[in-house]
């Protein structure tokens, strides 16, 4: 059987889906606030989705591809709050957000979703996570400078390769 589209696409958060003023979300200073259509922390660090992220999420929704997030953050409540404030909570069927190995995140995602590792596509900005998750049989793509449409399309093409 030829696989063309992943059954589950998993995204990391920091430096993958969003930029938090050049740091990780667990290094921010809550409370978070909206100011002139910008999401800021108390230190005025701007939290924003990378430019193509909404296009990517829309594409997945339009093609009925289930999405999840997996983040090793030390501040899960902050990450969940930011997902909500950025208006993308409902996009993700599953969220594994807690400090642990991505192997634990993916074991839980596979169990919850019923999706085998070889039917998943994963995007992350940390090479150690890419190596770990790839060892499970997940098609894993290194995100060097935030998610872009070009990188997403590259990942989809890699997944479809026999």
Reading across the β-sheet that carries 46-49, which strands appear in turn?
Answer: 18-20, 46-49, 38-40, 33-35
| DSSP-derived secondary structure for 1-60 | ----S-SEEEE-SBTTTEEETTB-GGGS-SPPEEETTEEE-TT-PEEEE-TTHHHHHHHH
Say which residue, 36 or 65, is predicted with more confidence. 65
- pLDDT band at residue 36 under the 50/70/90 scheme: confident
Kindly list the structural domains of the chain, giving each domain's residue range(s) and its CATH number in brackets, ordered by start: 8-18+49-160 (3.40.50.1000)
Distance CA 94, CA 90 (A): 10
Q: What is the pLDDT of residues 70-124, one digit of tens each?
A: 999 999 999 999 999 999 999 999 999 999 999 999 999 999 999 999 999 999 9
Dihedral pair phi/psi, residue 121, rounded to 5°: -125, 135
In this model, does residue 3 exceed pLDDT 90? no
Residue 52 annotated to the active site: no
pLDDT of 93: 98
- pLDDT band at residue 33 under the 50/70/90 scheme: very high
Which residue out of 12, 41, 124, 125 is catalytically annotated?
Answer: 12
Residue 12 annotated to the active site: yes
């Amino acid at each position: 059987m030829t696989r063309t589209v992943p059954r589950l696409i998993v995204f990391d958060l920091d430096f993958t889906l969003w930029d938090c003023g050049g740091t990780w979300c667990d290094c921010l200073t809550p409370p978070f606030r909206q100011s002139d259509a910008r999401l800021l922390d108390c230190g005025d660090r701007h939290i924003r989705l990378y430019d193509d992220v909404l296009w990517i999420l829309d594409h997945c929704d339009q093609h009925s591809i289930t999405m999840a997030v997996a983040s090793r953050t030390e501040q899960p409540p902050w990450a969940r709050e930011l997902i909500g404030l950025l208006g993308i909570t409902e996009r993700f069927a599953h969220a594994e957000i807690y400090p642990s190995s991505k192997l634990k995140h993916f074991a839980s995602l596979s169990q919850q979703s019923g999706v085998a590792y070889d039917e998943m596509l994963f995007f992350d900005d940390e090479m150690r996570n890419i190596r770990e998750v790839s060892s499970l049989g997940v098609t894993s793509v290194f995100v060097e400078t935030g998610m872009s449409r070009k990188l997403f399309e590259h990942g989809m093409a890699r997944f479809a390769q026999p």
